[in-house]
Amino acid sequence: MNINPKAKTPKQLKSNLTKFKVLSILIIASSSTLLGVCIYGILMKEETSTFMTLIVIAISCGAILPLQLINIKRIRSELKARNEAELN
């Protein structure tokens, strides 16, 4: 999701910031859980092909996190710049 922070109101930016934080937490939690289940399955089961493919899915879900963090940083810097502009 591409966000142009300059075209949004502060209320919309705060809402998007909250959404990105929640999505990041959900991605971390689901990827960690999936990775844990896969490691357990690999160690305890004889058939490991299913768990190996699920590990790839967990890692690829984790690849989304840097994009989320970049968007969070961009929104925070825009909100900070607007707050400083209001104070001056």
DSSP 14-29: HHHHHHHHHHHHHHHH
Structure tokens at 67: 């994009």
pLDDT at 3: 64
pLDDT at 8: 86
pLDDT at 76: 94
Q: Is 46 helix (H, G, I), strand (E, B) or coil?
A: coil
Its pTM stands at 0.81
Which portions of the chain are predicted below pLDDT 50? Answer: none
pLDDT at 1: 55
The answer to whether 21 and 72 have CB atoms below 8 angstroms apart is yes
| DSSP for residue 51 | H
pLDDT at 68: 92
